[in-house]
Structure 1
Amino acid sequence: MNSARLLAAMAAAFVWTFLTDFLIHGLWLAPDYRATAEVWRPEVAMQARFIYMVLGHVLMGVVFAVLWAKSIWRGPLAGAVFGFWMGAFQHVVVVFTYVAVPVRGDIAAKWIAAGMLQAVVLGVLVALIYHKRGLARA
């Protein structure tokens, strides 16, 4: 593995998911969250746990980039496919959350749709940063 490219891919993954999660949850879904406030922690309680959100994004970026670097795939198209499957794996938990927590169906659907798009773009981004030569294509 190329350490410099891997670190760059990890950093890019963190920045991409952190910023897009803000756009998705902080802006787009904010009205839905306000309308279902009884389901969520109070804002002050979430702010007190913000460091865990940051650490979760760091861990996600590390895992995503390392798994890509260890894979045999190369190129942006393969990155999109990789991102699709990583997103599918990550968002299966939304189905379980929908069953166990009183989350509206439209919110769960938006989580899945936005998360899948986010993961596909992340796959392309990581593939472009951690480019590989001489390996199999998807």
Structure 2
Amino acid sequence: MENTQEEYNVSSLVVLCAPNNLASLWDSINAIENAQCHYQDASGKIIVTLESQNIDEEIKLLKRIENLSGVITAQMIYAYHSKELQDLQENIQKQDSVPSVLKDDAQTADKIVYGGDAQSLLEQALEKP
């Protein structure tokens, strides 16, 4: 089977700036083609994703953001090639999202035990002072 999907890179950045530059940098970054801001906090951090056709384009976008007035630093955190993303998506789709214990008709709810952090938090909340 031939893969006709277009290949691309997706990466995420953390951009650090002075808090008073957040609004202007948010707008400046979003104005760059293939760059999109997703989150900011009051300390001056902006989370950005970049889409590019190849690594060279990706680095050029990173450098362009680094050179914006008000940027203290821009660090690439994750970078994925479309093939890696496709492989991850296929693995997720192969996984069974319903645990086997919930598919067992002979299993009763009172016999199901959850061993994660939520259980201990629930027990703490239910304890009488």
TM-score clears 0.5:
no
The higher radius of gyration belongs to 2
The answer to which structure has the higher strand fraction is 2
TM-score (norm 2): 0.30
The answer to which structure has the higher helix fraction is 1
TM-score (norm 1): 0.29
Q: Which of structures 1 and 2 has the larger relative contact order (alpha carbons within 8 angstroms, sep 6+)?
A: 1
